[in-house]
Structure 1
């Protein structure tokens, strides 16, 4: 199956707190350039355009990021930006996008992908994986992409497949962010894949699955969108706030309606500076503005706006330094995943300009 007639929904949401101070409320993770030369959102939209035409690509984002998101999308010829009045998590966001698309095309096939992941692939490899997903979606199941884990990562969700083949398999269950020992066990026993959050479905079957497993979300979205091309803020605020994993994927998998397709492309959710370090360590350590002596594993991220400031690290291993001009984060790899505690403290101090 070709992907040309499919719709692609790009979810541009989330705050990316664990990438503070680069990621802020007014500049969330999907608007950052983490070294590719363009924002993560722009990269995601370019991948969407490898699959279908600009008029069939839709961006879902929050009201506070509407201007930036529209500007990036329209620069690529994409005019459909769906605005959430407030953040209600991924289940309402995807239900909203599917409802909007289904009103004009009830039998539409839809691919959903996050705006803030790093994916390296060529056109043919990407399109082949998405075509397999759409074949599954055409049969009424929900398809998702699983990535073979390379290390025991506690920041990712995991998918347990029922079979042991290398092709599409029924999903037994989803496992959210395990502790270190559990992640190591998953890697040892096999059969587990990282959950990439890339999915596909038919609009008709998605709404049916929502009616079965998350009827409160579906009815809330329908109430909020009774008026065409408008989302009522009051009604939207009453939609249950829940992730698609809990609302739909887990119960649908238990009912045998979810299939995982192994992804063969290079994928990463750069959710922490640790993940950025793992992916960018060679370039980070070659940074000409950083000198490190008796400091193994030291890395630096500096916003281009900072200019030519130079940094010296002496006698501290695994140090991570992030400089955004108005704030400097100094931490180590063991603490990178727990930055929410630090950001909460910054809020308590009243440093609202840094949030």
Structure 2
């Protein structure tokens, strides 16, 4: 099988994790569970079966200092910086240029930096199965998570016929990608057994991916080729800034996955969550007490159930309030109902509107 390379996408801002997630220290660099930050845990997971020199990270240049601090095990030349965020397709395309220079037919595994994944052995077997399909069928492969609830916060993927080429995990042709559904539609998807959650993990040959970009996003492909010509030269930074600022912002789902006819899905049954909000952190926290409260720091819960408090270095008392989230970070405090955790991004918007940048 071809050499495998991993690309970890780490350019996000993580607004729903405010106030811990800030511009200078966004979600992927936070330690949520255990002793590693989310990006460090992601690197460790892939390093179980991919050498460090084949693990790349794409981020934005404003995160250069903290990225280098947290990824010291990786070669610095494997850290790729976007001048400005342009969604996932240009970011993956930019990184693919670096891998293609040395291994154009290598297998490229693309993963977010900030998701929770458990069952590392099953995760590895799933990725290996996806790589086998990518290799033997020249496929563009995605990992679909078996849904355990009618979640409305994820995109879904509808499967077609099962694909069998000796891989260890169930795999299917893909019929279509669908946007985040309402509750009734999500329930119908789960009941059908034909839909999986879109985990945002992709596996393909670098050459197959670049051919797809050329076919379905030709303007981006032309721009990427101009950048590729300057990699390793003194002109690279200047050319990258000029070209990258003008490329269209487009996701890999919309730009490639929804259009290509060689798309496959490998079934993911490992524990997975995109940790999209503080509510998800509460759900996965293993240290809940008898009243289903979880905390970090000195906390007094009195007549309180099903709540989460993060306040290291402080004393917080919560009295007579169920289902709440409290997060204290430096000079900011968040208090919200658990079922409103998704709305924190609106708070960040208001902070921006009021030009209170010191709190971002």
Q: TM-score, normalised by structure 2?
A: 0.90
Residues 58 and 78 of structure 1 are in contact (CA less than 8 Å); yes or no, is this contact kept in structure 2?
no
Match for residue 134 of structure 2?
137
Gap change, CA 1:237 and 1:76, over 3 Å in 2: closer
Match for residue 160 of structure 2?
162
Does residue 1:239 correspond to 2:247, yes or no?
yes
Q: Whole-Å Cα distance in 2 between the matches of residues 77 and 348 of structure 1?
A: 39
Residues 9 and 59 of structure 1 are in contact (CA less than 8 Å); yes or no, is this contact kept in structure 2?
yes
Match for residue 128 of structure 1?
125
Cα distance per residue 1:104-154 (max 9 Å; x no partner): 2221111111111111123x4233211111111112111111111122222
Cα distance per residue 1:204-245 (max 9 Å; x no partner): 111111111122222222233431133520111011111111
Cα distance per residue 1:4-49 (max 9 Å; x no partner): x211111111111111111111111110111221111111111121
Residues 293 and 315 of structure 1 are in contact (CA less than 8 Å); yes or no, is this contact kept in structure 2?
yes
Residues 31 and 39 of structure 1 are in contact (CA less than 8 Å); yes or no, is this contact kept in structure 2?
yes
Residues 221 and 239 of structure 1 are in contact (CA less than 8 Å); yes or no, is this contact kept in structure 2?
no
Q: 1:202 aligns with which of 178, 187, 205?
A: 205
In the TM superposition, residue 354 of structure 1 has moved relative to its aligned partner by 1.1
Q: Whole-Å Cα distance in 1 between the matches of residues 231 and 180 of structure 2?
A: 38
Residues 144 and 157 of structure 2 are in contact (CA less than 8 Å); yes or no, is this contact kept in structure 1?
yes
In the TM superposition, residue 54 of structure 1 has moved relative to its aligned partner by 1.5
Cα distance per residue 1:263-292 (max 9 Å; x no partner): 121111101111111111643725373333
Q: Whole-Å Cα distance in 1 between the matches of residues 280 and 186 of structure 2?
A: 16
Match for residue 211 of structure 1?
214
In the TM superposition, residue 203 of structure 1 has moved relative to its aligned partner by 1.0
Cα distance per residue 1:140-191 (max 9 Å; x no partner): 1111111111222222221111147971001111122222332222222321
Q: Whole-Å Cα distance in 1 between the matches of residues 73 and 86 of structure 2?
A: 27
Any unmatched runs of 5+ in structure 1?
none
Give RMSD over aligned pairs: 2.0
Q: Whole-Å Cα distance in 2 between the matches of residues 168 and 121 of structure 1?
A: 19
Gap change, CA 1:77 and 1:221, over 3 Å in 2: closer
Match for residue 166 of structure 2?
none
